[in-house]
A = this chain, B = another copy of it.
Amino acid sequence: MVVTAGAELLADALTAQAVPTTRVDWQPPVTGTETALVRTMTDPRRHSANTTASERMLAARAALVDVRPASQALALPPDHFLHAGPPVTWERASGPLRGGLIAGMLLEGLADSPEQAERRLASGQVTWEPCHHRGAVGPMAGIVSASMWMMELRDEVHNHTAWCSLNEGLGKVARYGAYSPDVIRRLRWMSEVLGPLLARAVRANGPLDIKAIVAAMVQMGDEGHNRNRAGTLMLLRDLMPAMIETGVPTSDLVESVRFISGNDHFFLNLVMPAAKLQTLAGAGIPGSTLVTTMARNGTDFGIQLSSTGDRWFTGPAQLADGLYLASFGPDDANPDIGDSAITETAGLGGFSMATAPAIVRFVGGTVADALATTHRMYEITVAENPAYAIPILEFRGAPTGIDVVSVLRTSILPQINTGMAGKVAGTGQVGAGLVTPPMDCFVAAIDTLASLAETPVGRQF
């Protein structure tokens, strides 16, 4: 389906080419993108490419099949880190990203102090690359280092694997850029106790259908980004028998159960790789104008498209509009960071806001705002996911498959729910709120899409 407005000639041209069209109230497209838009929209491959990409996204499955250290799962050497968002140098790296890298250095024993870690990071003694380049996703700073244990999820339909680290909890944690001794101690415990316990439980249990849990949580007030309470409860329910049967010492078992059940966001780190599998399934379709990645490193917001491979289209990361913890305020917040916008890329998070009105209310909005947000997202997406049905919208499927063309034509930006990290490395979480990508990403993307577009038969540009 193509949404057209105003430009009747274009709509007629599309209709003549047998592309289904929907007419909506006209609004001018983002200035300067008109030519590229027309060129992209008349690419005769576009309609079927987007249909293919979105159908593959909806068909993707996600099962938790293993929990393994990154050294094994991703063959990650100790001196190589993964991080959230598009690539970034030390010089341009944001405070929380630097903080996360420092935590990784300390955890891996590559530095004895934060200062030493910082010097070694700045001098190029270690390397890093985006999680997305390795099929992984990381919330906030998203640092993955060799000894961190990873959830391993499989999409058997498309033969894809995706990974995510274990969620550390809230407040002062490495993913928010903290690296104090208690942060490192917690990470060590996760590597020594929690990871191995979960690994034994998952292996004994067999593949656990994460897509089914996400489907159930969407019916229980979780949008899967800023609210993951029901998901966490269901994960615990499903793994509990196998966790008990591992026979680990009772104190380790109880500590692990308390750790998981005390953090409503534990399941976020399973929604994210499930969403990654969904978008991976939609990737690699020539002619498609769909977004398959939205990710931020705290400096840049980057998107990737189905038809343009690993190429990033970036713009400056924005500040979230939200609520601050304790005495923190807007001056303390770092711009938007994390791979967790993969949830929105897959139709969850802000896109499914209607199912979680508690989130908008938390930042001063109303239930009507929550409904309006999801309705708005239908305008920039090409599909609805029947597996993720939103009760209050008469079980309408989550809006899925962001179309760059629709974003530019409507000026409606994807709505993202997010946590906010302190801008100074070492701070931790300072709040949570709502944010959008910069329009720049989509403007950059359309130029490339236009340059790659095929010309319809009988038409000249």
Q: Which A residues fall within an 8 A CB radius of B?
A: 219-221, 229-230, 233-234, 236-238, 240-241, 244-245, 247, 250, 253-254, 257-258, 261, 357-358, 361, 366-367, 391-395
A366→B391 contact, CB < 8 A: no
A237 to B264, CA, bound (A): 11
Alpha-carbon separation in the docked complex, A397 to B355 (Å): 18
| A–B complex contacts, Cβ < 8 Å, 14 sampled | A219-B221, A230-B230, A233-B233, A233-B237, A236-B240, A237-B261, A244-B244, A244-B254, A245-B254, A357-B391, A357-B392, A366-B394, A367-B391, A367-B394
| In the bound complex, CA of A357 to CA of B390 (Å) | 10
Tell me whether A253 and B244 are in contact in the complex, defined as CB-CB below 8 angstroms, given that A221-B219, A221-B391, A230-B220 are known contacts.
Answer: yes
Assembly CA distance A258 to B241 (angstroms): 7
Is A358 within 8 A of B391, CB to CB? yes
Q: Give the residues in chain B near A220, CB-CB below 8 Å.
A: 220-221, 229-230
**Contact between B245 and A250 (Cβ–Cβ < 8 Å)?**
yes
Contact of A236 among B236, B247, B357 (CB under 8 A): B236
Which B residue's beta carbon lies closest to that of A357?
B391
Complex-state Cα separation, A233 to B217, whole angstroms? 12
Copies in the complex: 2
- Asked if B244 and A257 sit within 8 Å, CB to CB, the answer is yes
- What residue in chain B is nearest A241 (Cβ atoms)? B254
The reply to whether A250 and B244 contact each other, CB–CB distance below 8 Å, is yes
For A254, what are the chain B residues with a Cβ–Cβ distance below 8 Å? 241, 244-245
Which residues does chain B contribute within 8 Å of A238, judged by CB atoms? 261
Residues of B within 8 A of A391 (CB): 221, 357-358, 361, 367
The one of B233, B241, B258 that contacts A230, using a Cβ cutoff of 8 Å: B233
Known pairs A236-B240, A367-B391. 14 more at Cβ < 8 A? A221-B221, A221-B391, A233-B234, A233-B237, A236-B237, A237-B261, A240-B261, A244-B253, A244-B254, A245-B250, A357-B391, A367-B392, A367-B393, A367-B394
| Docked complex Cα distance between A241 and B233 (Å) | 14
Q: How far is the CA of A37 from the CA of B118 in the complex (A)?
A: 80
| 9 shortest interchain CB distances as A-B pairs | A233-B233, A220-B220, A237-B261, A357-B391, A220-B221, A241-B254, A367-B394, A240-B257, A392-B392
Instruction: State how many angstroms separate the Cβ of A229 from the closest Cβ of chain B.
Output: 7
**B-chain residues with CB within 8 Å of residue A367 when the two chains form the complex:** 391-395
Query: Given the complex of chains A and B, what is the CA–CA distance between A238 and B240 in angstroms?
Result: 13
Q: Which residues of B contact A247 (CB under 8 A)?
A: 250
CA distance A358 to B395 in the complex (A): 9
CB neighbours (8 Å) of A361 from chain B are: 391, 395
* CA distance in complex: A240, B361 (Å): 31
Closest beta carbon of chain B to A373's beta carbon, Å: 14
Residues of B within 8 Å of A366, CB to CB, are 394
- Bound complex: CA of A358 vs CA of B247, how far in Å? 39
Chain B residues with Cβ below 8 Å from A244 are: 244, 250, 253-254, 257
Chain B residues, CB < 8 A from A394: 366-367
A115 to B394, CA, bound (A): 49
Q: Which residues of B contact A392 (CB under 8 A)?
A: 357, 367, 392
Q: Tell me, in angstroms, the Cα distance from A286 to B189 when the chains sit together.
A: 61
Closest residue on chain B to residue A393 by CB atoms? B367
A250 to B204, CA, bound (A): 15
> Which of chain B's residues have a CB closer than 8 A to the CB of A236?
233, 236-237, 240
Q: Least Cβ distance of A73 to chain B in Å? A: 28
Which among A366, A392, A393 has the greatest number of chain B C-beta atoms within 10 A?
A: A392
Instruction: Find the B residue at minimum CB distance from A255.
Output: B241
